[in-house]
Structure 1
Amino acid sequence: MLRDDELVELIRRGESDRVEFTESTTDLDKVRQAICAFANDLPDHRQPGVFFMGLKDDGSSAGLTIDDKLLQRLGGLRNDGKILPFPAMEVDKRLLNGIDVAVIQVEPSDNPPVKVDGRCWIRVGPRRAQATAGEERRLTEKRAWGNLPYDAHPVPLSSIERDLDLMKFSNEYLPAAVSPEVLRENDRQLIEQLQALRLTTPDGIPTATALLMLGRDPRYWFPGAYIQFVRFAENELSNTTLDQAELSGPLPEQLRALDLLLKRNIGTALDLRGTTHAEKPDYPFDALRELVRNAVIHRTYESYTPVRVTWFADRVEIRNPGSVYGDVTKENFGQPGATAYRNPTLAEAMKTLGFMQRFGIGIQTARNALAANGNPPPEFDIQDTFFCVTIHQQNEQP
């Protein structure tokens, strides 16, 4: 983060297209919009934008209390799922000119346009505004393709017309990704809509995410992009299978099909304890669903290996190619705040279509569901080339 003397100088110069002040701690939508605008960096300063919470418009003290709870709320805005793609930002408490302020420093995005709830915000001098279609086009043209993750890269030799299901994009993906008001107000061509949603390059080449989510044949481009499901009758691999399937196609179709498979294979027993009798599953559906979706989103798609769901008599194993990524290590995996996305554009697309509710909570959601159902905690095996989670049956059978 910038030094104190650099921050003081920004305050002295006042609000601009790199600086915003606020004296409110409750209007988080305003904060998200400011983060979005700084990340988009429409003026192309290629320098961080800074949001100061605790200052009036003239830079004087607003008399706010800046505590750890507030800082945690502000830091949580990065991955609450409303700002997409994820902004690179830091949050800190600083004493500047004798005033306690919360400072949010936002780095320019390599993958604009950044949006909040489907709306693109920019800075025009000292004010914040929604981007026009022309301004969004400028942001799209700014993308630094060489710095982007694998899932945002173009796939050579693929084409929009031949390889993408454009009806699915128009009828399903676009209405979920862009607010109805914005759709009514603009008259963009299809290729402009695809570009704005980071699904194609400016010259119209589909990205990896586009082909995985909307492709007519994703496995042609990514041979390992499928889910292999098999259920054995025993506790180990055997020749006796009770169910099996190979799920291909766009990832949303795979996940919907797998939901049905999981529900079909979850057994229930009548719990006769207590005054009321209720059926209880051997595995909670929510836990299995979260862990499989986690595997599909976080896996590496450069591998020819599928996500494997192996169901034994006493446990379920979910295994995906690719280990932990970025700031997440074997030591801090699963801890609060330890999140990193190998495929952030794919994660954004999954959230757009409702396969994720909020970023960074899937593991905890699974743990909570298992505990509530009486299952042991999940066991994680993290290796250099793969990741495996094992879910055991209930501790106590009725």
Structure 2
Amino acid sequence: MAKPLKEDIHTEFKSSFNDAVIESLSAFANTKGGRVLVGMTDKGTPVKGFTLGSETLQKWINEVKNKTQPSIIPDANIIHINGVDVGELTISEFPIKPVSFKGRYYKRVNNSNHMLSLSEIADMHLKSFNTSWDSYINPEKSIDMLSLEKVNTFITNCNNGRQYIIADDPLTVLNKYDLIKEGQVTHAGYLMFARNDVFDATIELGRFSTPTSIKDGITIRSDLFSEVELVLDFVRKHINKSYIITGDPRREERWQYPMDALREIAINMIVHRDYTHYGDSSVKIYDDYIEFFNPGRLPENITIDQLLSGDYSSQARNRKVASAFKEAQFIEKYGSGIKRIKEGFANHGLKQPVFENFQHGFRVLVYAQDDSLLEETVGKTVGETVGKTVGKTLRGTSAAVFFYIKDNPHITREELAERAKLSVRGIEYQLAKLRKLKLIERIGSTKGGYWKILE
């Protein structure tokens, strides 16, 4: 006897034909296709005594067709399993989705069917027509609710540094970018150029001393372009900034976090937010980390690992918004933001951010270096060594790296990275800074040489 079959993401077993068969076929049509074997037990063996009449398959096909919308027509065949006839109903992924069964919508997840949420139904429908929610007209808004001054600012950003500039008036530009259609405003047009508050774009900003104790907070409801700067202004207000004395006439400013990377996070949050969800975006600043949260999870076909490795095809939830941000040079290249965020934190000597699906949305956590522990351990030793040279310039991570080198001049970059809890690239940044301050010098080759402490 052959080995029993198993149910999976593409296969379902049913002992007889009923509504549950049609539900599974609609779920397969909404996902990646699949088949239902009728006349099979849950254990993957044929049902004893199951029979198929000459008109049975055609009746099943007709019932599937009549109970689904848009109507789907499966391929029907009789197959032989262990010498028993079994009905096989196969359906491919349907091009126009979602397919409903009795007014309900399902998807296939692993070996079971799950009902689609309202947002999933909307997303599936929009993707079927190669469009997105923000390209549709907002019937509650009108052109006089838009700020043409903001459109002019958008045009200026688009033209900055480019050979071929936009010379059209604001209304013509809005029409050319399909942000207004036949005299009506699209969702994207209103979100980006609204004259007054945009309640659908609310972002809650807070500075917390503990998860339940807030020290400062504001709510912003501006147009999307303005929100980028408003978020960053609030972050700057509540994070630390130090000045590095390098010997040059000017001081070098260094924020607690890499601001270019935080800007990328803020832009991604605003561009990829699910604006159809009732929840708000939020930014929560704590003593040693910041949390960015956004309604709207990653697409199901993109995993966190793929996001971090860049092994995916970029899918903009709000295609018109993403396109406008790219034209205005807020976005450099689709799908490259995560890479720049990771590089920014590595170059800053900080641990990598955490990206994760969280509740009904997506969350990014970024961490500051815990300078207090490092300073407590190495502060006195390093202070005595380099205090006269650079004063308070060297502290935290830089102080720790200097101390490890002083303690072991033959220490490798990899060993420094392990001890300082940084990436090798982060260590490279710290070494370059120590060299610039003329505190260390490399003697000999990378492998066989050593670090010399400069007096």
Report TM bin, short chain.
0.5 to 0.7
Structure 2 residue 322 is matched with structure 1 residue 347: yes
In structure 1, the residue matched to 2:149 is 167
Shift of 1:288: 1.4
SS in 2 for 1:212: helix
Contact preservation (8 Å) 1:326, 1:341: no
Shift of 1:333: 1.9
SS in 2 for 1:294: helix
Structure 2 residue 368 is matched with structure 1 residue 387: no
Structure 2 residue 259 is matched with structure 1 residue 285: yes
CA RMSD, aligned part only? 3.1
Contact preservation (8 Å) 2:304, 2:355: no
Could you tell me which amino acid in structure 2 is paired with residue 173 of structure 1? F
Looking at structure 1, the residues matched to 183 and 283 of structure 2 have their Cα atoms a distance apart, in angstroms, of 36
Contact preservation (8 Å) 2:307, 2:338: no
Q: Where do 1:84-95 residues align within 5 Å?
A: none
In structure 2, the residue matched to 1:249 is 222
Distance 1:251 1:190, change over 3 A: closer
In structure 2, the residue matched to 1:153 is 136
Looking at structure 2, the residues matched to 200 and 333 of structure 1 have their Cα atoms a distance apart, in angstroms, of 33
Q: 1:224 aligns with which of 186, 195, 200?
A: 200
Larger deviation: 325-334 or 295-304?
A: 325-334
- Could you list the per-position Cα deviations for residues 339-362 of structure 1 after superposition, in whole angstroms to 9, with x for gaps in the alignment? 211112101111222322222111
TM-score w.r.t. the length of structure 1 is 0.54
In structure 1, the residue matched to 2:338 is 363
Could you tell me which amino acid in structure 1 is paired with residue 367 of structure 2? H
TM-score w.r.t. the length of structure 2 is 0.48
- Could you list the per-position Cα deviations for residues 85-105 of structure 1 after superposition, in whole angstroms to 9, with x for gaps in the alignment? xxxxxxxxxxxxxxxxxxxxx
In structure 1, the residue matched to 2:88 is none
Distance 1:268 1:168, change over 3 A: closer
- Could you list the per-position Cα deviations for residues 239-268 of structure 1 after superposition, in whole angstroms to 9, with x for gaps in the alignment? 341x32212211111112222222222203
Greater RCO, CA 8 A, separation 6+:
1
In structure 1, the residue matched to 2:446 is none
Q: Where do 1:195-210 residues align within 5 Å?
A: 195-201=175-181, 203-210=182-189
Looking at structure 2, the residues matched to 388 and 165 of structure 1 have their Cα atoms a distance apart, in angstroms, of 32
In structure 2, the residue matched to 1:322 is 296
SS in 2 for 1:333: helix
Q: 1:211 aligns with which of 183, 186, 190?
A: 190
Distance 1:224 1:191, change over 3 A: closer
Identity among equivalent pairs (%): 24
Could you tell me which amino acid in structure 2 is paired with residue 377 of structure 1? Q
Larger deviation: 282-291 or 327-336?
A: 327-336
Q: Which runs of 5+ in 2 are unaligned?
A: 1-126, 372-395, 400-455
Looking at structure 1, the residues matched to 169 and 350 of structure 2 have their Cα atoms a distance apart, in angstroms, of 51
Larger deviation: 281-290 or 340-349?
A: 281-290
Moved over 6 A (4+): 274-278
SS in 2 for 1:232: strand
Q: Which runs of 5+ in 1 are unaligned?
A: 1-143
Looking at structure 2, the residues matched to 285 and 373 of structure 1 have their Cα atoms a distance apart, in angstroms, of 10
Structure 2 residue 226 is matched with structure 1 residue 263: no
Looking at structure 1, the residues matched to 140 and 255 of structure 2 have their Cα atoms a distance apart, in angstroms, of 47
SS in 1 for 2:292: strand
SS in 2 for 1:332: helix
Looking at structure 1, the residues matched to 149 and 243 of structure 2 have their Cα atoms a distance apart, in angstroms, of 45
Larger deviation: 246-255 or 316-325?
A: 246-255
Shift of 1:147: 4.2
Q: Where do 1:1-398 residues align within 5 Å?
A: 147-160=130-143, 162-169=144-151, 171-177=152-158, 183=166, 191-201=171-181, 203-217=182-196, 219=198, 223-233=199-209, 236-241=210-215, 243-269=216-242, 280-325=254-299, 327-338=301-312, 339-383=314-358, 385-394=360-369, 397=396, 398=399
Looking at structure 2, the residues matched to 386 and 149 of structure 1 have their Cα atoms a distance apart, in angstroms, of 18
Shift of 1:224: 3.5
Shift of 1:211: 0.4
Distance 1:164 1:279, change over 3 A: closer
Looking at structure 2, the residues matched to 315 and 308 of structure 1 have their Cα atoms a distance apart, in angstroms, of 14
Could you tell me which amino acid in structure 2 is paired with residue 394 of structure 1? Q
Shift of 1:237: 1.3
Distance 1:180 1:355, change over 3 A: same
Contact preservation (8 Å) 2:206, 2:214: no
Could you tell me which amino acid in structure 2 is paired with residue 317 of structure 1? E
SS in 1 for 2:201: coil
Shift of 1:329: 2.8
Looking at structure 1, the residues matched to 330 and 204 of structure 2 have their Cα atoms a distance apart, in angstroms, of 19
